[in-house]
Every structure is written in C-alpha cells, then in structure tokens.
Amino acid sequence: MVKVGELIANLNFKVARKFILHILLISSSITLIGTSVQLSMDYSKDLETIHSTFHQIDVSYRQSITNTLWVSNIEVLKIQLKGILKLRDMQHLEVVLEDKSRIQVGKPETKYVIKHEYIMSKNFGNREIHLGVLRVTASLRGVYRRLLEKVVVILLIQAIKTFIVSVAIFVLFYIIVGRHLQTIVRYAKSFSLNSMDKPLRLRGYEEKLDERNELSILVHSVNSMRNNLIREIEKRDQAEKQLQESERQLRLMFMEMSAGFALHEVIRKMDGTPHDYRFLDVNSAFEQLTGLGRAKIIGKSVQDIFPYVEKQLIDTFLEVAISRVPVSFERHVKAVGKHLQVVAYSPQKDRFAVILLDISKRKKAEEELAKYRNHLEEIVFERTMELRNAHEKLLAAERLATLGKVAGSISHELRNPLAVIDSSAYYLKSSIKSPNQRTIKHIERIIMQVKHSTAIIESLLDLTGISAPNKEKLDLVDLLETIVSRVMIPKTIDICKKMEERIFVPGDFRQLEMVIGNLIKNAVDAMDNQGVLTLSAQTSENGKFAEIAIKDTGSGILPEHISEIFKPLFSTKAQGIGFGLSICHQIVDKHGGFIDVTSEPGKGSSFIVKLPVYEEKTDG
C-alpha cells in the first residue's frame, strides 16, 4: 500500500500538481458549463414566458382594450391595464392616445427591460381608425434574481462534490498509474542512442507481455521501440533523400505542365460565409496564359488581381470548394483576352484547383466553320428561291402570253361594237325631245357600262403589253405628292404622311404613277370612304431600297387570299376584274423591286413597294 506521506510528498512534483490542478479545472469547467447551460435554459425559458405573455396580451387583451378605447371608458381601461400588470414580470403599461395624452399604470423603467407595442385600431364603415398605441414594459430584474439564487445553490453543491471526487480520482490514479509514469519519465530522460541496450522495467511488471495490462503493453512497446529505433533512423535518412527527390520531380512536373494550373483557398467573412478566394500557387503555364507573375498574385485574392471578375464565376469556384463536386466549362475570359477550357476540382475542403487550357485557336476555327456553313446555307436558300421565282415567272409569262393573244383578238372584236353602242346611246340621248327621267337613266346606264367594258379591255391590254420602263431619276416624295393630288380621295378619309426628304429612285414616272395610284384607289375602296390613309416613304435599313408604304384602316384581306391577289383575274371586289394588282406586280418587278403585303381582317392592310435606290454613276 502507498503511504499517505508518499502521496503528499508526490504533490511536490510538477506533474502531480498539474494533475490535481487539471482535475479541479476540468471538474470546475464541467460544473460551470453545466451551470451555464442550465442558467441559459432557465433564462431562455423566462424570456419565452415574457414573450408568451406579450402574445397573450395581443390575443386576449388587445381587442377588449381597443373596444374600451372606442367607447372612451378610461376607468375600465385602467382596470384592464392593472390586470395585465399583475402578470409575471410586467413592470409598466402605457396607452398613448391620438391626442398624445397618456394613461399609465406601474413604475416606468429604462434598464433591464423588454418593451413591446400594440397598435390599437378599429374598423368602422370600411375604414381603419387609429385609436392609439399600447406600450408594455416587462422587467428582467425578477429573471436575474431568480437566476442568481439558482447559481448560488448549484455552485455550492457542485464545489463540494468536485473537491471530493477530485481527491479520490487523484489518489486512485497515482496508485495505479502515477508512480509508474514517474519511472517511465526517468527512463525517457536517460534514453539516448548510447543507452538503448537498457530496457525499461517497472516494479511489479515482468518483461513478458501481458496483453490484458496496459502498462505491460506500454513497457513492451517502449522496449520494442528501442529495438526498432536504430533501424528506423537508418530508414529515415534514406526516406528523406527519396522524399526530397520526389518533391523536386513533382515541382518540376508542376511547373513544366503545358496547361495552366492554380491552387486557391476560400476566404470567408466573419460570419463564416464564403465570398472570395486567394491564390496559393500557380505554375509557369498559368503565368503565360494570364500574363501575371507568380510573385504578384500568390497570397492575394482574385478580386485584388481581377477587380472586374464576374460574381457568377467566383460563386461557381466557391461551390466547387465547398461541395467538392468538380466542374468543367468553356469561357471567354476578357481579362486575358482568350477562350479557355476550365476544369475545377477540390483536393480538400475549402480549397480548389483550376486547370486552364487555351482553346482560342479551336474556337476561332469553329467560328470560321460556322460562318462558312451559314454562308453555304444562305447561298443554297438564295439559289432555291431564284429557281422558284424563275419558275413562277415562266409560268406567269406563259399565262400572260396566252392571255395576250386572247386579249388582242377580244379587244379588236369588241371595241367596234362598243363604239357603235356608245355613239347610238349618245345620239338617242341628244335626239329625243322631252325625254322622261326613266329614259335618260337607262341611256346613261348604257353609256356607263360601255365605258366599264372599254376599261376592262384596256386593263387586259395593259396587263399583256407592259413595256420595259423608261427609267429616269425620280424624287420619290415629289412622285407621291403628285399622285395624291391626281387621285380622287374623299374628304371623309384622313391622310397621314410620313416621308423622308430627298429619296431618289430610277423609274418610269407613268408606270410608277399607275402602281401607286392603283394601290391608293384600292385602299380608298377598302375603307368605304371613311378611315385613315397612311402614306410613308423611307429608305430600308441597309440603305439599298426605297420603301413606299400605303396603309389603310379598311376591311383587310383574308389570310388565304394573300397569295392569290397578284394573280390575273383574281378580285375580292364586287365589280373588280382582277387586273390591277397583277399590273402593279409586273411593273414593280420590271423596276427590280417587289411588293410586300401585310393585312389583318377587320383592321386594314399595308402594301409596301420596295424599289432600288438611285445610284449616281461615277466615271472610271
């Protein structure tokens, strides 16, 4: 048995004193932590009780106090406030009315309090009426007093318990372990390469290993270490040499990589939120790609090096470092002016590595290939459209040729009879003495129908006999003004003009007058003599065409008729013969232009005539 005197003498050793001190500190710390946790829970519970009381006031008292304020019963209000004041930890209540007058109960305080306000309002006649504000003050002094009482009791009990347990643990530990540790310490102090032949021995423990006894295992381990230490020292020297060589080779490989490589570390805010990252290491390829020297960027954040870096890119790399999920993407980095393939992965938490490959040449080749492919598609489309248009023009030419032969024959056969009918009607109208109104009406109807038939014949001849345009330099605005002045437009139709100045086109004045005049007449007819006629003239976006737009607010054209309106003999008018738009289309086509049509039934139509802009001829 260990004597008490030896135990007390052992306290002179620094380790023993530290052991006792640590036991007391750990026991005291556990006691303080437990006490703190308990007090924190009690404090939180008291605060929850106060907030629960505030909620109770809101749910149970607020409406009744509002009703009392509504009827202005101050005495009842004070009784209600005093009732609330009796609740636990309630210190002071105050009602501030709209006229700034106050009704108070309790003693006001400013220190160690929690305050809460309630808006008192009443809904009257679909209007929210503000009556005042209820301010409730709860005191924390009662909470602190209760906590202090608990602290005194808990600490007193825990101090006695800690002292007794600490002494008992120290005695047992010394008997079982402490005295042997002193022997081990003395052995360790005397241990050296020159004395490794001396094994460690403890009193009461044989050199033979007892696997059920930790100290026996310790003695055996120390002695085994003694036997292996010499061999390990020799191996250590060899391993150090190999490690240095391996590090040199890895460093060389790292610096000689063709791909840029950079290692980064996450930078967090005070609250632990990641917001940036700093450079830990880069290789030579990275320096060449970015043009930044290694010494200038190591240890600095990315926002210090690249102030205008996109936040999305920073967030992507931070996500890699935190989630440790690798990403790969291609990006044009404006800061270095190159297309880069980026691979990012996380070797450990809060760190990530980035591998950069310069793919600028590949991207340039892809862009060139895409341009070539798009150009080829455009060429194929243009050729296809040219063939389709040529085929349509050929069919139209064949139809017009046939129609021209018929028109020549019909016009010759019909003009003479029509001339006879017209002259006979005129003679009858002038020779009849005292004719009645009915007779005059029928004669005039004959004359009008003769003129209509003659117009049909002339339109048919125009359609089949349009000559090549005699082009001259025309001012488009003057042309439109002249045509508008010659066309009969009812005063009930408003004319809106939007024209640029000085737009010149090469064209035949008479033929273009026929086109634009016909389109204006059609627009007037479509509006039934009321609406808005909009005329505009401007150059196209590419500056190669002049655009004349005739827009009406009439009945519009059905979608299924849009593709048919330029064909001969197609008309949507009751008295139309279907030659007008066909003639317009042929004239514009002979001028090297085209006509676009947009229409919405019930809202109107827009015809846009596009003609090449006049180009001044230059010598040479």
Q: What pLDDT digit, counting tens, does each position of 469-527 carry?
A: 888 989 888 888 888 888 888 888 998 988 877 789 999 888 888 888 889 888 888 88
Q: How far apart are CA 308 and CA 433, in angstroms?
A: 100
pLDDT of residue 579: 67
- Top mean pLDDT of 95-104, 239-248, 611-620 is at 95-104
Angle, helix 580-590 to helix 509-526, in steps of 10 degrees = 140
569: alpha, beta or left, given left = phi > 0 and alpha = psi -120 to 50? left
Average pLDDT of 423-446? 75
Q: What pLDDT digit, counting tens, does each position of 338-394 carry?
A: 888 889 999 888 999 998 888 888 888 888 888 888 888 888 888 888 787 777 666
- Measured in degrees and rounded to the nearest 5, phi and psi for residue 332 equal -90, 115
pLDDT of residue 325: 92
Per-chain mean pLDDT for the chain? 80
Least confident of 236-250, 408-422, 469-483: 408-422
Percentage of the chain surpassing pLDDT 70?
83
Query: By C-alpha distance, which of 473, 466, 511, 483 is closest to 612?
Result: 473
Structural contact between residues 289 and 297, judged by C-beta atoms closer than 8 angstroms: no
Q: Going by C-beta distance under 8 Å and a sequence separation of 6 or more, which residues neighbour residue 330?
A: 339, 340, 341, 342, 359, 363
Q: What pLDDT digit, counting tens, does each position of 564-619 carry?
A: 777 766 666 655 556 678 788 888 888 889 899 999 888 899 999 999 998 876 65
Three-state secondary structure call for residue 567: coil
- CA distances 156 to 41, 150, 164, Å, are 20, 10, 13
pLDDT of residue 157: 85
Structural contact between residues 523 and 544, judged by C-beta atoms closer than 8 angstroms: no
Total H helices, total E strands in the chain: 16, 16
> At 265, is the pLDDT very low, low, confident or very high (cuts 50, 70, 90)?
very high
> At 620, is the pLDDT very low, low, confident or very high (cuts 50, 70, 90)?
very low
> At 204, is the pLDDT very low, low, confident or very high (cuts 50, 70, 90)?
low
More confident residue, 533 or 408: 533
pLDDT of residue 267: 93
More confident residue, 191 or 306: 306
Domains in the chain, CATH or no CATH each: 14-149 (3.30.450), 257-358 (3.30.450.20), 364-465 (no CATH), 468-612 (3.30.565.10)
